Amino acid sequence: MTSLSRRRFLGVLAGAGAGAVLLSARPRTALGFAPRQDPRETVKRFTLAQLRYPGGDWDPYPTAPAEFVRELERMTSVEARPERREIALGDPALFEFPFLLVAGSRDFPALAPGDVSRLRAWIEAGGTLLADDCSATPGYGFDAAIRRELARALPASRVERLSSDHTVFKSFFLVRSVAGARVASPFLEGITVQGRTAVIFSPNNLLGALARDPLGRYVESCTPGGERQRRTAYHLAVNIVLYALCSDYKQDRIHVPFLRQRI
């Protein structure tokens, strides 16, 4: 899995013109990450991996991942596999995936020590974890549980608010606010590891804003901002994935005029 160089990215931007931003992002190769499959088949494919943990409710919105992947391909030129990959921390394939989603709305039991060690190793190898609190109740339930487990995995690190000029808010779209099905907190938080935001906390039920029922209707309304808030939720989700794949390439201000075309 090769990473997208800054020079190539700038070339893509220049070729896209003022009307669109095309990004052929590839999952970046971090220490410990390597595809088991034929690299000719996987190099351009992003797989949304979701953590399956014991107890709690690890899959509160089963339709949301596929909905998001469809929109990711529609909004960008990222090539993605349509099916998510459900994965446990003990799965030998864990290190094939540089991006991992963990979600829930309830408390869950403490992870086994071996799983905590593997989570630490995965993050330190370059993995990016998105933790989505689907209850949108910061400090309780899932939010409290995942913070507890990450404190075990990364005891020397601390959770900090992400500033409004953090790269995650401009990695593809220019996003000026956080979003989800219910905005319970006006900011994202994260944990910095080796100079990058390796863990991102979404407190506002991001998945709930994306999930649809079998008839194609959205499962949750978005409060207080309605459909505009839902659109922002899609943009924020795209940005988080692009940040995970390509890290800090958008710190260069040359990207701003092109990104404004996407608002």
Question: Which domains, ranges and CATH numbers included, belong to the chain?
Answer: 6-260 (3.40.50.12140)
What pTM does this model have? 0.80
Name the least confident of 44-58, 188-202, 236-250: 236-250
Proportion of the chain above pLDDT 90, given as a percent: 72
Cβ neighbours, 10 Å, residue 52: 14
- Does the pLDDT value for residue 114 go beyond 70? yes
CB-based contacts of 110, cutoff 8 Å, min separation 6: 148, 149, 152
Strand partners, 133: 104
- Does the pLDDT value for residue 139 go beyond 50? yes
Strand partners, 201: 131, 189
Average pLDDT for the chain:
83
pLDDT digits (tens, 9 = 90+) for 14-35: 333 322 232 333 444 444 454 4
pLDDT of residue 246: 82
Q: How far is Cα 84 from Cα 49, in angstroms, rounded to an integer?
A: 6
pLDDT digits (tens, 9 = 90+) for 198-236: 999 999 999 999 999 999 999 999 999 999 999 999 999
Within 13 Å, how many C-alpha atoms sit on residue 173's CB side? 20
